[in-house]
Amino acid sequence: MDDMTSKDDEKGREIAKEKGRIEEQGMQREREQAQEVGRKLGAAEERSREKQKHGSGRWIMPIIGLIVLVCIMVVAVFLTLSVSVTSTTTGVSFPYTTMYGVSFPEGQTIAIGDSHLSVLSYENELISDIDGDRQRLVVGEARVITERHAVVKTLGVITLMDTYFRIGLTYKGNLESRAYFDMAVQTSQQVPDYLLKQLLPPEIDARPM
């Protein structure tokens, strides 16, 4: 009877041990499966990040290249601006007027297109010389730079402005060796200010009114 009980106990222990081993194997497989899933998810995330990175790079480089190209073109346009001014007598009308406040340094010849102008104060008057024609001015008196034809080009072949113009100068007085004028630039067609200023030398410090 004792032998049978002992055998039953031993058999029960073996069954329990086998059951435990099977459970352990099952848990091990679950851990391995979980690790495999984790590795796959991690690899998928890494591929996604790499794809986004390369995708962004494909867009960024062309955009940077386009910006650089536009900047180069803008610089080239401004660096190759050329102004040609010639005398003419066509009798055209001048319906557009742009006003500037300007000042001329005394005793210095200033070129406006193909005209040369110099001023020199004397007592309460101003001696003005435009292309060799001298006149005395008092405050409020005016002089005119007669009709001219102006063409502004860029890159040697692209015409940005083609207009006829004339300039009226009204003497306003002197201060610190500079003669001040109201300048009326009349044109045969409407011209943007940045192109119109190409006709005016920087020495006169033209400021829109």
Pure H helices in the chain: 2-79, 193-196
Least confident of 75-79, 112-116, 127-131: 75-79
Give residue 139's pLDDT.
Answer: 93
* Average pLDDT of the residues in 204-209: 88
Report which of residues 29 and 166 the model is more confident about. 166
Please report, for the chain, the start and end positions of each structural domain, with discontinuous segments joined by +.
Answer: 1-79, 82-208
Give residue 21's pLDDT.
Answer: 66
Per-residue pLDDT of 53-78, as tens digits, reads 555 556 677 788 788 777 777 676 66
Give the predicted TM-score (pTM) of the model.
Answer: 0.62
* Average pLDDT of the residues in 191-202: 86
Half-sphere exposure of 1 (CA within 13 A, CB side): 0
DSSP-derived secondary structure for 80-134: T-EEEEEE--------EEEEEEEEEETT--EEETTEEEEEEEETTEEEEEETTEE
In this predicted structure, the answer to whether residue 34 has a pLDDT above a threshold of 80 is: no
User: Which residues, in sequence order, are CB contacts of 196 under 8 Å at separation 6+?
Assistant: 98, 161, 185, 187
User: Which residues, in sequence order, are CB contacts of 14 under 8 Å at separation 6+?
Assistant: none
Give residue 133's pLDDT.
Answer: 92
Give residue 112's pLDDT.
Answer: 84
Contact 78, 197 (CB under 8 A): no
User: What is the percent of the chain where pLDDT is above 70?
Assistant: 72
* Average pLDDT of the residues in 198-202: 86
Contact 147, 166 (CB under 8 A): yes
Give residue 155's pLDDT.
Answer: 79
Report which of residues 84 and 58 the model is more confident about. 84
The type of residue at 187 is T
* 39 phi and psi angles, rounded to 5 deg: -65, -40
* Average pLDDT of the residues in 87-95: 83
Model confidence at 182, in pLDDT bands (50, 70, 90)? Answer: very high
Give residue 57's pLDDT.
Answer: 56
